[in-house]
Amino acid sequence: FFTINHSQIHPHKPPSIYYLGPFGITFTSPTTMKVVLCVAVALFGCSWAQRLQAQSYPNPNEIPIVKYVNENNYDGSYSYSYETGNGISVSETGQLKNPGQKDLEAQTAQGSFSYTAPDGTPITVTWYADETGFHAEGAHLPTP
């Protein structure tokens, strides 16, 4: 942006300072120019957002949640599980071990999940996690 003598643009008006904005538009003050530009940017942003939103399509492969349970207790224990319409199931419970014993407290959790592999094989994993780490078992997992 730069200033020019207004008489160069509008010879019938007295000379004064005007601000030349984008596309050759003149403004009487920098504040007016900023307001107009902000409104233009906002309108452009809204139209762009509507365009992007109009291009979104619903997913025909959406899998419904057929069961969902989530319980959180004040003592730090919890339990949640869910099942989907395509046979996936997940469950987990957890609790605080040795509550109130500062050096011995540990969060523990155990659970399982099941699904069907692409080749049709049912997969189930049971697991637990405690102060010794994460431990998982499943018929498809290698054992040491």
64-118 pLDDT, tens digit each: 999 999 999 988 899 999 999 999 999 999 998 888 888 888 889 999 999 999 9
d(CA 111, CA 125) in angstroms, rounded, equals: 8
Structure tokens at 89: 């199931």
Q: How is the chain split into domains, by residue range? A: 2-54, 65-137
User: Which backbone phi and psi does 78 adopt, to 5 degrees?
Assistant: -155, 165
pTM equals 0.55
Confidence at residue 122, expressed as pLDDT on a 0 to 100 scale: 94
User: Which backbone phi and psi does 45 adopt, to 5 degrees?
Assistant: -60, -45
Q: Measured on CA atoms in the order 56, 59, 63, 64, is the torsion positive or negative?
A: positive
